[in-house]
Amino acid sequence: MNNLTTAIFNGDFDESSSFDDDIIMISGRRYINRERVKGDEQIYKDYFADNPVYPEEYFRIRFRTRRSLFVSILHDIQQVNEYFIQTRDATGAPGLSSVQKMTAALRILQYGIPADAVDEHIRIGESTAIATLNFFTRSIVATYKAVYLRSPNETDVARLLQEGEQRGFP
């Protein structure tokens, strides 16, 4: 048990208490050890392992897409933006995984949550989540604008009208 947990259980915690076991000052900036690798491992175990904790239908609920589409989009944006390829920091420790970055961006977009709300599960800081969202949206536009972000042509309109009629729309 760490110092913070012990203090909470013993009733010794108050707002002025300082339990910065995982906070380090580097070049005048606070660095919080978020244990990124553990976050990545947890997401993998929960959704992407051979025998995931949550089945496909839970993936669809939480990510609002099929797992295969998620992986396809991730692969596509990695081709456009190397930000989504995992790197190592100066100490050799692995950085955030591409799955963590894309999951953070999708959660912010899909659920309309603030950037700091993805920290606890995905283990990504607020400023990094904002940067990730920016890179993600730019990468999506760059990847798919030719196909999906264009004016419909006659074939598209005819297909949409036909699908509408099949679903009971006049």
DSSP 29-63: EEEE---HHHHHHHHIIIIISSS-SS-HHHHHHHH
Query: Scanning the structure block, which residue is given the tokens 């042509």?
Result: 153
pLDDT digits (tens, 9 = 90+) for 34-46: 677 788 888 899 9
Residues 78, 53: one domain? yes
**pTM for the predicted model, two decimal places:** 0.70
Domain count, the chain: 2
Residues 22, 96: one domain? no
Structural element, H or E, at residue 30: strand 29-32
pLDDT digits (tens, 9 = 90+) for 123-149: 888 888 999 999 999 999 999 998 888
Residues 9, 81: one domain? no
Cα–Cα dist 127/104, whole Å: 12
Residues 8, 45: one domain? no
Residues 6, 48: one domain? no
Which residues pair with residue 26 across a beta bridge?
29
Range of the domain at 54: 35-166
Residues 53, 15: one domain? no
